[in-house]
């Protein structure tokens, strides 16, 4: 590749990294041409973009945007690399998992995933990434909790604690505070507006009419 061609690739990659908050770094080295074609089709059907580029160009693109932000993925840039870009943080993980099952294999290998600023390194993280909660899923769960008795909230917190203990950290596409705020707004909009209670009018007691006229003055002696 000429220097100009390399620069063009870097600019394309910079555009994709700027467009998406989520991308997966995979190793497709051992896949056949036919398998790569099937993988591309599966990604296309789920609106996941696939880009294959040299590792050096990928790194230069990332460093030119924010070297520190993407520092955790640099060590994963080796061998053949195919990048999967997606708005949905778990869609690439589901595609990779389904592709492996269909082909009775362990390829493509997941080298790393960048999800909303967090880096997940290693193929062993693929299972956890298939369980990511998307923003809409989280909003639905929070709405359910806001409308549920306290015991369900406690049960959800215990389940969250168990997941953390088992190394299954929840991954969200948006900050949790924003998700909770949006869910609360949905609940508030759906709730019926409470009408002001009707206060029964109490009749005002009328002053009793004087039944007798004021006494006449006594006659002078």
What is the model's pLDDT at position 221? 44
Question: Residue 184 is inside which H or E element, if any?
Answer: helix 176-190
What span, in angstroms and rounded, lies between the C-alpha atoms of 57 and 49?
A: 18
* pLDDT for the residue 211: 46
Return d(Cα 161, Cα 165) in angstroms, integer.
Answer: 6
Q: Does residue 61 sit in the same domain as residue 157?
A: no
Least confident of 111-120, 130-139, 181-190: 181-190
| 88 and 110 both lie in a single domain | yes
pLDDT-based confidence at residue 35 (cuts at 50, 70, 90) = very high
* Helix residue ranges per DSSP H, 46-132: 55-66, 91-103, 126-129
Q: Check residue 86 and give its pLDDT.
A: 96
Peptide bond into 108 cis (omega under 30): yes
- What are φ and ψ of residue 201, in 5° steps? -75, 125
**28/75 same-domain check:** yes
Task: Say if residue 207's pLDDT is above 70.
Answer: no
Q: DSSP strand E in 108-149: where?
A: 109-115, 118-121
Q: Are 59 and 24 in contact (CB under 8 A)?
A: no
Position 58 in a domain: yes
* Cα–Cα distance, 70 to 54 (Å, whole number): 17
What is the average per-residue pLDDT within 83-89?
A: 96
Predicted confidence at residue 1, as pLDDT, reads 87
Range of the domain at 156: 135-190
- The total of structural domains in the chain comes to 2
One domain, residues 64 and 152: no
Is residue 207 packed enough to be buried (19+ CB in 10 Å), middle (13-18) or exposed (0-12)?
Answer: exposed
Across the chain, what does the average pLDDT equal?
80
Please check whether residues 124 and 139 belong to one and the same domain: no
Q: Both 100 and 141 in a single domain?
A: no
Which sign does the torsion angle of CA 124, 36, 77, 172 carry? negative
* pLDDT at 105 exceeding the cut of 70: yes
Q: What is the pLDDT of residue 196?
A: 47
User: Where is mean pLDDT largest: 44-48, 134-138, 207-211?
Assistant: 44-48
Query: What DSSP state is assigned to residue 166?
Result: T
Q: Is the pLDDT of residue 71 over 50?
A: yes
């Amino acid at each position: 590749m000429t220097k100009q061609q390399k620069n063009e690739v870097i600019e394309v990659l910079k555009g994709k990294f700027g467009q998406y908050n989520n991308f997966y770094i995979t190793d497709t080295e051992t896949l056949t041409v036919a398998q790569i074609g099937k993988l591309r089709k599966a990604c296309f059907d789920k609106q996941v973009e696939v880009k294959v580029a040299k590792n050096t160009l990928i790194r230069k693109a990332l460093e030119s945007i924010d070297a520190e932000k993407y520092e955790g993925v640099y060590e994963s840039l080796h061998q053949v690399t195919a990048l999967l870009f997606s708005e949905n943080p778990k869609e690439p993980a589901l595609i990779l998992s389904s592709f492996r099952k269909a082909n009775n294999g362990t390829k493509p290998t997941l080298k790393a995933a960048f999800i909303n600023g967090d880096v997940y390194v290693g193929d062993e993280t693929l299972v956890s990434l298939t369980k990511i909660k998307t923003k809409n899923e989280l909003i639905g769960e929070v709405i359910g909790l806001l409308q549920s008795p306290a015991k369900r909230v406690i049960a959800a917190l215990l389940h969250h604690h168990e997941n953390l203990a088992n190394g299954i950290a929840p991954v969200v596409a948006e900050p949790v505070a924003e998700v909770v705020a949006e869910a609360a707004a949905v609940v508030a909009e759906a709730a019926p507006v409470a009408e002001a209670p009707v206060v029964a009018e109490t009749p005002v007691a009328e002053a009793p009419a004087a039944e007798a006229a004021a006494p006449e003055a006594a006659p002078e002696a």
